[in-house]
Structure 1
């Protein structure tokens, strides 16, 4: 059971493609901090279109890796970006002004549990999102390619 007192009411004045555009225009000065959490831009190859698709996502850091969650607010289906990285884990991420290739990996088992704690410390709403859905929300590690 999640603690409702930790739920963050979100300001959605900067959302989706507008978020992407402002983040890119300002090298993250606008958009890196979103509702008190850190956000990055994930560009994956569209599962159906084969075209690049960019999504702003809340992230937490774990060493050199960036951890994102395929929550979609607790929707019953996985978000499109997650389906994209399942098919092609080679992605590009932008964190502030740093753009880098990375590999996306869905984490499982004890590592998932540990990283769930890391990401819910950054965005407590993930616990409530998990309660809203019967699917197990994926936790994804983005490892920069060096």
Structure 2
């Protein structure tokens, strides 16, 4: 991400690259310039708008915890949850693409000790999550995705 890039421009280019390449590009990014790791993995999450029913695709950092994909509804530490989080709460499944493979996935939110362990794991993968949580009074949600049947990779 260059010094003149806004985060929206970067995110849009990242999403376009991921989609146009079928996942061959965009899965791994170097986020060390923004406090992350040099080898940060990203998935694509496709959810349906809870009111519109329209599909929305969002690139997100992910981890693998106990065989489930973990994503973080951080929204950069904003005081409101990201739209994708509200959208998935209105559905029992979502679609997720990891590199060149896509799946239908059931989702859940971890509780108690599991949540603590997952949060520790995700802040190790992407340390800026700590500052994001400190910048808001909301409890940043963690979402666990259990992959199911394979589906076609996402397209633009």
TM-score between the two structures when normalised by the length of structure 2: 0.81
* Aligned residue number for residue 30 of structure 1: 25
1:117 matched to 2:112: no
Could you tell me which of 93, 98, 102 is aligned with 2:101?
98
1:82 matched to 2:85: yes
8 Å Cα contact 2:23-2:101 kept in structure 1: no
TM-score between the two structures when normalised by the length of structure 1: 0.86
For residue 78 of structure 1, give the secondary structure of its aligned residue in structure 2. Answer: coil
8 Å Cα contact 2:46-2:55 kept in structure 1: yes
Q: What are the equivalent positions in structure 2 for 1:49-88 lying under 5 Å apart?
A: 49-88=52-91
Query: Unpaired runs of 5+ in structure 2?
Result: 32-37, 150-156
* Aligned residue number for residue 35 of structure 2: none
* Aligned residue number for residue 3 of structure 1: none
Q: Following the alignment from structure 2 to structure 1, what is the Cα–Cα distance between the partners of residues 93 and 138? A: 24
Deviation at 1:89, TM superposition (A): 3.1
For residue 20 of structure 1, give the secondary structure of its aligned residue in structure 2. Answer: helix
Query: Unpaired runs of 5+ in structure 1?
Result: 1-8
8 Å Cα contact 1:17-1:55 kept in structure 2: no
Give the paired residue count: 137
Structure 1 residues 25 and 31: CA distance shift in structure 2, 3 A? same
What is the RMSD of the two structures over their aligned residues, measured on CA atoms? Answer: 1.9
